Structure 1
Amino acid sequence: MAGAQHCRTGGWRVVSWVIGRRSAWVVIVLWLAIGGAASPMAFRLADAQKNDASAFLPAEAESTRLLAAQRHFPGADAVPAVVVLTRPAGLTPADRSAATAIGGALAPFAAGPVLGPVVAPDGHSLILTVPLAQLDDAARFTDNVREMRRIAARIAPAGTETAITGPAGLVADAFQMFRTIESRLLLVTAGIVAVILLVVYRSPLLWLVPLVSVGIADQTAAGIVSLLARHGVLTVNGQSSGILRVLVFGAGTDYALLLIARYREELTRHRDPRRAMREAMRHAGPAVLASAGTVVIGMLCLLFGVLASDRGLGPVGAIGISTALVTMTTLLPAAMVLCGRRLFWPLIPRFGEHPPVTDTARRGPAARAAHDNALAAPTAPGHEDLTEFDLAEEPGRWVRIGAAIDRRPRTVWVGTSLVLGGLIVGLLTMNTSLRQDEGFRHRVESVRGIELISADFPPGVSAPTYVIAAGRVAPQVAAVIRATPGVAGVAEAGRAGDRVQFVVVLGDRPDSPASFDAVRELRSRVHRVPGAGALVGGNTAVNLDVRHAAVRDRQVIIPLVLAVVLVVLMFLLRAIVAPLMLMATVVLSYLAALGASAVAYRWIFGFPGADPSLPLLAFIFLVALGVDYNIFLMTRVREEAARIGPRPGVLHALAVTGGVITSAGVVLAATFSALIIFPLVQLAEIGFVVAFGVLLDTLVVRSILVPALTLDIGRRIWWPSRLARPDDTAGGTPPAISPSAPASPPRPRTPRHPV
């Protein structure tokens, strides 16, 4: 009867069907088929990536408008590959002849004439510029650059050094990094999850079910994203592709840990595994759904950004989380109930066994009175085979932690907040001016090429800046460009109709603060030329516009995410004070993690700076994922507060959720730390800040700060719900009796079953 009551709604009918004796097999076969069909597309996800900065520009950016204007110039929208050939003792006539031969050999790859060779004033090096056509196929573009490098190295005379750099070289090196590391990332992430599951469950069998389930979720999500990217529905780069894999593995494993923990608890209360799974889904399912929904909503808020990289990451992350949620609430329960209790061997949960709950004996007369009243209460429908051990007395680590916090909650939360505030001071060292050539953690040929060019040429030669203006004022525009501080040289590069294009060489290294200042000044001056309608673009201008867009997205999306998550928490917890408290702790945790990471980037990893998009991406992940763990804790606190009172409810909830939420946090942190193996600074930084932030949130904020605040605020934390009232009897639990009052006679107790 209880099972039928739970299945009246559509959601519970689905749950019952998923874990049915025959339909569970259908669910498993269906997911195996989906995973098998998605795998070929998942393995081709790297081929759908776009890793050049111009692919992510907002439509209204000046660099974007210049790229559109360049399409009217023959070959002007090509990506320049700059070939440098150098001899420390000075170039010989044979070297110059070889450079001409290199230009001829590379001509078949060019979308226009090969420019050069141009010899440096000191005669030690020369450069050629090969305009490469932009290709949607990133793998083919990278292979072309790699073949060009092989040809140049083969023709170059002995004693010389060659390198291919410029925007084309940087893009090719970045894509090659993603392509070579992607399979390793998948193996490392899966290995981390497998090891943690083995440690958590201490079972030779149980860990396989969540690992296989999350693996199928990963392949399915990657296949969906790859398909959408190939049809132009969304934009994917190496960063979002790498984040997708760790997000699915981390979040999916978290959901598995929480559901399996509640399922194991219910197996000690119900004889039938299917009934235990229904109860586990009934209690843990809403929290898992709410946490996944919060992350999805937070990710989708990125759609309000102007950077295509942000707008692309939002749907990619939402698809990953949604796929993990559906898989872990269908495939995982079906597999668990089919395997039954024996899956937990050798620690098989028995009906009537002492479940891992809280220690009422250590919390004084009020808690013991609530315990006795709970035992005396009528059995709730659907829990007819519960035993006395629902509120059994069992000491444990989280019971001791709760007791320590309970002694002086205000002192605990004030002290913890001060420590987190100290970490925030590290933000003073945050530097978000990472250059494109500084984004590689290992030596690559494009960066070496920039170094060789900078030794003998103006550094801006490796990434030219372009100016397009009206042809009738070309002399005035050229004069203004030459007079602009930071400009090392300018040349007219062709006309198309009534427009003229100039190639501008900056005197400072591309993407450096000085080069950005030069682009700003150049724009300011050419815009003032009457009737010029001038546009300034090129690689440095593109990255400057990307930085401006990143700041804009941060200012818009962060408040939006805070508002949306706050509304979700209010709806879920049916209160106002608790959600406001949770949001304050999550923001405090985010700022502390970002401050500590800034110090680590500079003094531990030696990174030259941080990517400008890091603060926003860290916020999205840490706030959305940090709220996850607070949802898991506070939904259980609310459930227990309605049953045994606010203070015992906090301590009980902390005791029963402490271990599993900590394990979930460790899993998520470990999976994101896999990004640190990437030889790209941007992904390594994201991996570290999210891993550190998740551990900080799990071990400090959720375990210490939130319980201390909840205990100190008391019933008022649930205002304006019924739980905030002193005489509340929500959930059918009788009010706590005083120690001197006679307790109601307890219901008959089932004999304890041996473990």
Structure 2
Amino acid sequence: MFERIGKVVTRAPIPIVLVWATAGVLLIESAPEWSDVSQEGEFTFLPEDSPSRQAEELYRRAFPSGKDGGEGESEVRQDPMGSNVAIVVRREDLPDGLTSADREFVISVLRTGLEVIQVTTPFGYADSEDSSAYINRRVRPRVLQLAGESLSGRRETRLEQVREAVAGRNGPEGETAGVVPEEERIVDAVWTFEQRGVGPLLISPDQKSTLVVVDVKTEFLDRENGLLLDRIEAFVNDIVTNRHLYEKAESDELAAQADSDDVLKLPANLELAISGSATVGRDMLRAEKQSTSNTERWTKVLVIVLLLLIYRAPLLVVIPLLTVGLTVELTMSLLLHMAALGWIEVFSALRIYVTVVVYGAGVDFCLFLISRYREELHAGASFDDAISRALERVGIALATSAGTSIAGIGMMMFAEFGKFPKAGFSISFGLLIVLCCALTLTPALLRLAGRWAFWPDVREERISAQKGWIPMTSAWSLLVSDRPWTENIWTRIASIIERRPGRVFLIAVAAMTPFVIVACVNYNRLSYGLLSELQPEVTSVVGAKAVQEHFPAGITGVTTVLLKNDNFDFAGTRGLRDGEKFAEALTAELAEQADNLKIADIRSQSDPIGIKNAGAIQGSLAERNLARKFAHATYVSSTEPLAGKVVRVDLVFENDPFTRESIGRLTPAEDAVRDSLQALEDRAAGIEDDEERALYSSLTEETEVHVLGPTASLRDLKQVTDRDRVTIAVLVSIAVYLVLIALLGKPAISLYLIASVVFSFLVTLGVTHCVFMLQPGTYNGMDWKAPIFVFTILVAMGEDYNVLLMSRVDEEQRKLGPVKGVLAALTKTGGIISSCGIIMAGTFASLTTGTLTGIVQLGFALAFGVLLDTFVVRPILVPSYLVLLYQGRFGRFGRWLGAIESGEDGDHKPNGDETDADAPPQMS
């Protein structure tokens, strides 16, 4: 087959190039944008039957509006499914904390400005406008204007006054002023300490900080949050920096008012920061985009530099780059088209994984083909014959190599967590496309380039190995060239292995074993936090730290417990009273265990603003009754068929909700809820009311306990991915093992090859832990995605080099015997496999230029792992083991381990068939 491909390529190189180019242009230009078809987030990729997903579905049915209470000043509202932006206002220099001037600033400046942003901001993407100009033109003048007016204390009335002020500047409809219809606004509400219901929750216990919360209608990783976040960040920065404060005022009257009242000046030593889930989501998407851009740019730079050093011929750099560059873009466009048709699903980070793997594998394929092409030219073949022979002799090796990687990486499609199957399919699809390009487009480009492919060495039909931009005596050439310069290095290594295979093997294994131990000890030390992914100086990280210095860390991710019982009847007026009694009893039971469970606060119908603020809701009897109704609507379902059947309790933990410690405390908290229900049931006999006694007597049996929130989702994520780690490890190993047996026909040796790569994976994991533990700052463990991707890619693609080595071992053993064949194969494949390993490691190293910690860890681990396979596993562990085996060092176990019958010296005299020098090698 590959011979026929070679003949077609040599006869019609121009049509082949035109077909690929035309397909690329048409598909790439017509592809949709990533943001139009990609899914974002982590929790959305959990299986539908995950407990947290089921809890979220119950919440949607029980509280379908997304608003727990009604409209009013006493509304107690915290939607566990929602998203928000939180402005952190704090004062550290005074023991009493915030001053009256600080509080006035929050209401007259921050709240007003955010309400102006609320009525003028639609759903929109980041970087779609000059946010500073928007603040100067729209927000600051309105804040200056409204500062002199008496605004209502009621939220809805106040918001209408703000809307009228904005619209009134340019006409009654407000179109030119930018007032957005309510249904098109992205902001749902702005909350401060003034609001009677939620206010106490927004003041820190030490009175030194307060939060201004902007509720957003979209989920925290929605890209349409970008415009809002840009505007809020520009507004806060404008206040903090005081730059151009009044020069853009729209009238002399406003400017004079600004000069006299100075309303926008930030009180001295008052600090502002921005936090909230929507801010974290925006920063995650921004870092992901930056990581993708950095990775793609540095991948190309590193590949260009490495190819120039290897080939010393510019066209031999351009040809692989054209092949792989077209393949990556073609793969991306095809994936986007399939996603638009609904055939597959994609996520934005997928572009990073596909880019580095396809670039690395594609350049390797081109290197093998070009290496064999040069060898055929050195042997005296014409350009046409050289291309045909190169494809004939290396085609099967490339197809096998790609097949091994596709089979291994494709096993990710059997994972439960949604991102892994999508990554497995997409990367495997990219490898298939790059294989097709390498077998057709690359040889076509080589044929069209002719002798100019090797410029500046274009003087003769036979291409000299001595010409090029870089001297052959350079250290680099000694390392990677496939000419005799490097054969001396690899011959010396082969000689050492031949003399002392056991010592070499044991020293190598002993040197790496400590890192294996580190890997095993830290195997489950994984980081699941979103903030730990971001750099310390990022807006949301700074804001989160400011929040956690004054509020319980768990306030950034409240855990919501839903109790569903068909016997509950907490709807209506009586239901309000019964629900309060039940909530009060349950809260009291949980409060007794709060210290052991590290629970900072508990919120329920009986304590809607938390047990820490019990009694904070004051006012007239009518106002207190109104507050009770809002609390009832917040914490008890009111929508049929679940009206009065679902009760909600919110738990605020002391710890960051995105840590392993919080995940570990969630199950005991669930057990505590069930224990509390049991305790209430045990007291049922003393209840006089028959209906109430009947309800309490069956609490534990009839009540379903569901938990949602970030910690619950992380627990499910951990459990699912823990199972996936085992599933993927087993399936990838089996798949690659079966491919090796099919290719080599040596089950025992194939098993050792798998074991050697798994061993190198553990070494890589241990080294990665050590490197990142030594860096400044707190090390929370490897990102939870990294070990799965590292194992899959290293085992699937790392075996490629073993396949290519073993293919040459078989060829050389037919001529030289078992031991000499191993050593000859090591010598002759050293240069080209080392070149490929360096290229592959270089592409993976480009990931370390990203801004997401998980991507950086993944890049380091993959680059180190490939180098370990290239310079330790393939040239030391595999050959030394084979020499020990073929020298009979394993005694009677040798035949079970795949030993070849040999003479006393460990070799045998080949017969006539085995010395056929014309037998085509599979690679060189």
Q: Same fold per TM (> 0.5)?
A: yes
Tell me the equivalent position of 2:216.
132
Aligned partners of 1:230 and 1:469: how far apart in 2? 40
Cα deviation code 1:251-281 (max 9, x no counterpart)? 1111111111111112223522222222222
Identity %: 27
Aligned partners of 1:613 and 1:278: how far apart in 2? 43
Aligned partners of 1:352 and 1:726: how far apart in 2? 40
Tell me the equivalent position of 1:629.
801
Change (3 A) 1:349 1:251: farther
Tell me the equivalent position of 1:380.
none
Range 641-650 or range 183-192, more displaced: 641-650
Tell me the equivalent position of 2:132.
none
Change (3 A) 1:429 1:222: same
Structure 1 residue 420 displacement after superposition? 2.1
**Alpha carbons 1:192, 1:671 under 8 Å: kept:** yes
Counterpart of 2:44, as a letter, is A
Cα deviation code 1:723-742 (max 9, x no counterpart)? 94559999984467xxxxxx
Aligned partners of 1:350 and 1:341: how far apart in 2? 8
Tell me the equivalent position of 1:166.
276
Range 685-694 or range 467-476, more displaced: 467-476
Structure 1 residue 131 displacement after superposition? 3.4
**Residue in structure 2 matching 1:547, options 687, 696, 718:** 718
Structure 1 residue 694 displacement after superposition? 0.4
**Alpha carbons 2:41, 2:221 under 8 Å: kept:** no
Change (3 A) 1:678 1:469: same
**Alpha carbons 1:642, 1:729 under 8 Å: kept:** no
User: Is 1:308 aligned to 2:418, yes or no?
Assistant: yes
Structure 1 residue 429 displacement after superposition? 5.1
Change (3 A) 1:393 1:255: closer
Change (3 A) 1:723 1:42: farther
Structure 1 residue 641 displacement after superposition? 2.0
Aligned partners of 1:640 and 1:283: how far apart in 2? 15
Segments of structure 2 that go 5 or more residues without pairing to the other structure are 67-78, 120-184, 194-201, 240-263, 467-481, 569-578, 605-633, 678-699, 919-924
**Alpha carbons 1:527, 1:533 under 8 Å: kept:** no
State the SS of the aligned residue for 2:527.
coil
Tell me the equivalent position of 1:373.
none
**Alpha carbons 2:16, 2:440 under 8 Å: kept:** yes
- Aligned counterparts, 1:582-593, within 5 A: 582-593=753-764
**Residue in structure 2 matching 1:426, options 518, 521, 524:** 518
Structure 1 residue 586 displacement after superposition? 0.8
Structure 1 residue 137 displacement after superposition? 8.7
Tell me the equivalent position of 1:672.
844
Structure 1 residue 152 displacement after superposition? 4.8
Change (3 A) 1:395 1:331: closer
Cα deviation code 1:602-638 (max 9, x no counterpart)? 1146544211232222111111121011111111211
Aligned partners of 1:225 and 1:29: how far apart in 2? 22
Aligned partners of 1:68 and 1:394: how far apart in 2? 63
Cα deviation code 1:520-563 (max 9, x no counterpart)? 22222335642331211111221222122221111221011111
Counterpart of 1:71, as a letter, is R
- Aligned counterparts, 1:193-232, within 5 A: 193-231=303-341
Tell me the equivalent position of 1:25.
14
- Aligned counterparts, 1:164-313, within 5 A: 164-231=274-341, 233-313=343-423
**Alpha carbons 1:729, 1:735 under 8 Å: kept:** no
Structure 1 residue 401 displacement after superposition? 2.1
Aligned partners of 1:15 and 1:729: how far apart in 2? 37
Range 583-592 or range 527-536, more displaced: 527-536
**Residue in structure 2 matching 1:488, options 579, 600, 607:** 600
**Residue in structure 2 matching 1:147, options 231, 235, 241:** 231
Change (3 A) 1:442 1:393: closer
Tell me the equivalent position of 1:688.
860
State the SS of the aligned residue for 1:672.
helix
User: Is 1:100 aligned to 2:111, yes or no?
Assistant: yes
Aligned partners of 1:602 and 1:394: how far apart in 2? 37
Aligned partners of 1:241 and 1:735: how far apart in 2? 48
Range 222-231 or range 446-455, more displaced: 222-231
User: Is 1:121 aligned to 2:111, yes or no?
Assistant: no
- Aligned counterparts, 1:61-76, within 5 A: 61-72=50-61, 73=63, 74-75=65-66, 76=79
State the SS of the aligned residue for 1:134.
coil
Cα deviation code 1:636-661 (max 9, x no counterpart)? 21122224433332233222211111
Counterpart of 2:451, as a letter, is R
- Aligned counterparts, 1:508-657, within 5 A: 508-527=655-674, 529=677, 530=700, 531-604=702-775, 607-657=779-829
Tell me the equivalent position of 1:16.
7
**Alpha carbons 2:553, 2:656 under 8 Å: kept:** yes
Structure 1 residue 590 displacement after superposition? 1.0
Structure 1 residue 49 displacement after superposition? 4.4
Counterpart of 1:344, as a letter, is F
State the SS of the aligned residue for 1:205.
helix
State the SS of the aligned residue for 2:416.
coil
Aligned partners of 2:220 and 2:274: how far apart in 1? 21
Tell me the equivalent position of 1:370.
none
Tell me the equivalent position of 1:413.
505
Q: TM-score, normalised by structure 2?
A: 0.70
Structure 1 residue 231 displacement after superposition? 4.9
Change (3 A) 1:52 1:469: same
Structure showing greater radius of gyration is 2
Counterpart of 1:16, as a letter, is K
State the SS of the aligned residue for 2:213.
strand
Structure 1 residue 465 displacement after superposition? 1.7
Number of residue pairs matched? 695
**Residue in structure 1 matching 2:552, options 458, 461, 477:** 458
Tell me the equivalent position of 1:752.
none
Counterpart of 1:302, as a letter, is M
Q: TM-score, normalised by structure 1?
A: 0.84
Change (3 A) 1:223 1:137: farther
State the SS of the aligned residue for 1:535.
strand
Structure 1 residue 196 displacement after superposition? 0.3
User: Is 1:81 aligned to 2:85, yes or no?
Assistant: yes
Counterpart of 1:13, as a letter, is R
**Alpha carbons 2:505, 2:881 under 8 Å: kept:** yes
State the SS of the aligned residue for 2:448.
helix
**Alpha carbons 1:56, 1:307 under 8 Å: kept:** yes
Range 80-89 or range 502-511, more displaced: 80-89
Counterpart of 2:768, as a letter, is S
Aligned partners of 1:468 and 1:676: how far apart in 2? 42
Tell me the equivalent position of 1:376.
none
Cα deviation code 1:80-128 (max 9, x no counterpart)? 3333222334242313313432553454555644444322233322124
Change (3 A) 1:346 1:510: same
User: Is 1:504 aligned to 2:651, yes or no?
Assistant: yes
Tell me the equivalent position of 2:612.
none
- Aligned counterparts, 1:372-383, within 5 A: none
State the SS of the aligned residue for 1:71.
helix
**Alpha carbons 1:442, 1:679 under 8 Å: kept:** no
State the SS of the aligned residue for 1:80.
strand
Aligned partners of 1:687 and 1:423: how far apart in 2? 18
State the SS of the aligned residue for 2:272.
strand
Cα deviation code 1:429-467 (max 9, x no counterpart)? 563235321111341111111111112211111222222
Counterpart of 1:306, as a letter, is E
Range 666-675 or range 483-492, more displaced: 483-492
Aligned partners of 2:830 and 2:459: how far apart in 1? 19
Counterpart of 2:714, as a letter, is N
Aligned partners of 2:272 and 2:27: how far apart in 1? 42
Aligned partners of 1:313 and 1:245: how far apart in 2? 12
Cα deviation code 1:143-164 (max 9, x no counterpart)? 3333333345557751443333
Change (3 A) 1:41 1:584: farther
Structure 1 residue 331 displacement after superposition? 0.8
Change (3 A) 1:543 1:731: farther
Backbone CA RMSD of aligned residues: 3.4
**Alpha carbons 1:41, 1:226 under 8 Å: kept:** no
Tell me the equivalent position of 2:33.
44
Aligned partners of 2:380 and 2:29: how far apart in 1? 42
Cα deviation code 1:330-364 (max 9, x no counterpart)? 111111122223312345697788999xxxxxxxx
